[in-house]
Amino acid sequence: MGRYLWLLLLPLFLFGSSVKPFKWNNGESFLRFLEHKKLPLALFYSLDKEDQQLTEDIPFTANCQMLVSDKKIIQQILIPVNDELQLQIYLTSKKRYKIHVIPIVAEMYHEVLYTEIQTVPYDDILKATGSTRLASRFVKMFKGRVNFKKDIKPGDPLVIVYEQKYRLGKYFSMPEVAGAMIEIGGKRYAVYKHTDGRYYDAKGAQFEKFLFKLPIRNARMTSGFTKRRYHPVLHRYRAHVGVDFGARPGTQILATGEGRVCFCGYSNGYGNTIKIRHANGLVSLYAHQKGFKKGIHNGSKVKQGEMIGFVGSTGLSSGPHLHFGMYDGSTPINPMSVMKKKTEGFTGKEYRQFVAIRTKLDKIFKEKLRTKPVKRKAFDFQNTYYVDKDTFKVKAF
């Protein structure tokens, strides 16, 4: 308890100290980072395997912050690893550096946007909300289904039902869209998020086309994707930004989709690793491999289902398995949310669940089309701030 108290009191003693924001240097390993900042490398080794591996997934867009005293001594560094967790390096009162994984404080709100088209959806959503992320999410959702350039006319209404995180009154992280609709010349196009996290049209047909397939035959998932999980035994926050498939060493690893190999090599955490960039911009990752298929190299073109390597236990791995990741830019997403689904269309209980979701969203759409509410505007959150671990209160400098 007490060891974090000083963090809370820190601002009071910080006359002469300064906060320096910086971006995570893409491609720099955590060890190199510590070296550059003249911090003890032991900090990295004090982390356990899972957290060490996590340092390889620090997004290159991560907004980090460093607190430096007037004597140029680093007091604290915050490095977000995703939108839920951050690494905190800090100097204790005994002048020793420590490192912890702590949560990022944000509040989640349910929001609804109603707006009318004046130019194009992207610009109008941005104008109404100030959120580039919501605007691009909306456009991405309807891409291929609705021709925004051709068919749309001024005055056409759109509604988005979503969850948005805020930090200190500003948008933080990606909005989670529950459902959205746009009316074009009186014809309605709507999408609904089902319990499986995927989007469907009113008839229950899959809206987004995902062509990815599992990277292992007869795959058995041993660990799922989570951005933040509290470990009740270890009393710490963990993240696992991919899925693990248990398999015997030497099991064939298959490319999840067509693409071009953009990394084929060794990394400390992930061991022998291949990354493949796909046509839709997503990048898939295959870690801990025993070895690569002969001839696979940086720049290789691969087809879906093509064998690329073999299951192993290289890097920070506790046993033979495939760690499989999927990235949108440098942000890890749940790979299972973009895998091709075996069945088409809902039946039975699943159908009833979908109808309930659709009915609820349709009600919201109808009400907003009638009341035409005006949206409160905010701005995207840029900086990271200091967090007290016990109270989870944010201290801004």
- Chain residues that interact with Zn ion, rule: CB under 5 A: 242, 244, 323
Shortest separation between residue 222's beta carbon and Zn ion, angstroms: 9
Pick 204 or 269: Cβ nearer Zn ion: 269
Shortest separation between residue 240's beta carbon and Zn ion, angstroms: 6
Q: For residues 63 and 80, what is the distance between their CA atoms, to the nearest angstrom?
A: 7
Pick 59 or 242: Cβ nearer Zn ion: 242
Shortest separation between residue 330's beta carbon and Zn ion, angstroms: 17
Pick 179 or 309: Cβ nearer Zn ion: 309
Pick 63 or 330: Cβ nearer Zn ion: 330
Residue 202 tokens, joined: 């009113």
Q: What element of type H or E holds 187?
A: strand 187-193
Cβ contact 162:177 at 8 Å: yes
* Helices and strands, counts by H and E, the chain: 7, 24
Please give the residue whose beta carbon sits closest to Zn ion in the complex: 323
Shortest separation between residue 273's beta carbon and Zn ion, angstroms: 12
Residue 116 tokens, joined: 């009318």
Contacts of 2 (CB under 8 A, 6+ apart): none
Can you list the alpha helix ranges (DSSP code H) found in the chain? 2-9, 30-36, 42-46, 49-54, 121-129, 132-142, 348-371
Pick 97 or 245: Cβ nearer Zn ion: 245
| DSSP-assigned letters across all residues of 320-346 | SEEEEEEEETTEEE-GGGGBPPSS-S-
Pick 115 or 317: Cβ nearer Zn ion: 317
Shortest separation between residue 48's beta carbon and Zn ion, angstroms: 14
Shortest separation between residue 244's beta carbon and Zn ion, angstroms: 4
